[in-house]
Amino acid sequence: MNSSLAGNQSGRPFCLLAISYLETINFCLLEVVVIVFLMVLIISGNIIVIFVFHCAPLLNHHTTSYFIQTMAYADLLVGVSCLVPSLSLLHYPIVLSESLVCQIFGYVVSVLKSVSMASLACISIDRYIAITKPLTYNTLVTPWRLRICILIIWLYSCLVFLPSFHWGKPGYHGDVFQWCANSWNTDPYFTLFIVVMLYAPAAFIVCFTYFNIFRICQQHTKEINERRVRFSSQDGETGEAQPCPDKRYAMVLFRITSVFYILWLPYIIYFLLESSNVYSNRVASFLTTWLAISNSFCNCVIYSLSNSVFQKGLKRLSGAICASCARQRVAKDSSTSRSKRSSNGCHV
């Protein structure tokens, strides 16, 4: 297993995308560029999301904001953890052994992405309850129950991937390390365990809830439009079709969920193929892994482009930053002018 990921030859650095490297470069340039670029995007994007949620109180009126902020913090930690493979590819000396660093990094990133996947499933359940039981929603979904649910998500994610230290590789997050590529093999039974305990239930919940959400919204829209047509015909007015008010917000969350699974599908397929010893490729390992990790930035883009309240909060945050910069500039100019006046006074 992992024979195609064979190690370092001719004394050259171990690079998954070893494509025409110059002899003067002793590190994996292309891999470093990709990982550092994603790291900067993920960290900056999620920091903006977290600050916007603090600057826009209206965003916190939705119970889904608890899960979205949880995803933002998890994605932020994914971006921070990308510093580890970056340093490894740059041959920066690491105190711990490569095998231990590889296992810890693979475990941490797997847990963080599991938190995102479980949060998306909980968001879909939350929206399903809001639409199917609107009268009892506030009594069923309370802040302390949401906090307990988030705590359970983190604990469950940590426990699901804990056997990876003895059972096998949880994924391909660590293949930038030579030990991960050559010595840390996947186990088909552990892969089946992850699929049964995480991937399959999360995908089933998302498909079931959003299918019913849009079906119910379609029924509500049809009923509302029929009533409007009936009353408008009595008053001699033409009725216009009105969409379900919950459908717009559900569409935002559905886009986030869809992009998540689209970006993670190649990774999951490759994970299953390599685990079953059907297909193993160094380039596919790297591309599918970091394509999946790029989702940590896509969540920020989708939410900022789709949610009007978030856009208002982003404008408020940018306005506050610009105002702060303007105050600092004015203070700097005034201090400069005072210093000039004082220096002129000394020469009089």
For tokens 């231990």, name the residue.
100
**Which percentage of the chain shows pLDDT scores above 90?**
6
Distance CA 325, CA 322 (A): 5
Question: CA torsion sign, 141 to 123 to 205 to 159?
Answer: negative
23, with CB counted inside 10 A (0-12, 13-18, 19+), is exposed
pLDDT value of residue 7: 41
**CA 17/CA 89 separation, integer angstroms:** 12
Ordered structural domains, the chain, with CATH? 29-229+244-323 (1.20.1070.10)
**Helix, strand, coil tally for the chain in percent (to 5):** 75, 0, 25
Q: Note the pLDDT of residue 134.
A: 83
Tell which residue, 242, 244, 298, has the closest CA to residue 120: 298
CA distance linking residue 259 with residue 298, whole number of Å: 8
Q: How far is CA 48 from the centre of its chain?
A: 13
Report helix angle 29-55 to 308-347, nearest 10: 90
Report pLDDT for 99.
79
Predicted model pTM: 0.74
Give me the pLDDT at residue 151, please: 95
Tell me which residues of the chain have a pLDDT lower than 50.
1-11, 20, 22-24, 345-348
**Residue type, position 139, single letter:** T
pLDDT tens-digit readout, 141-197: 888 899 999 999 999 999 999 988 888 777 655 566 777 777 777 788 888 888 889
DSSP string, 302-316: HHHHH-HHHHHHHHH
pLDDT for res 23: 46
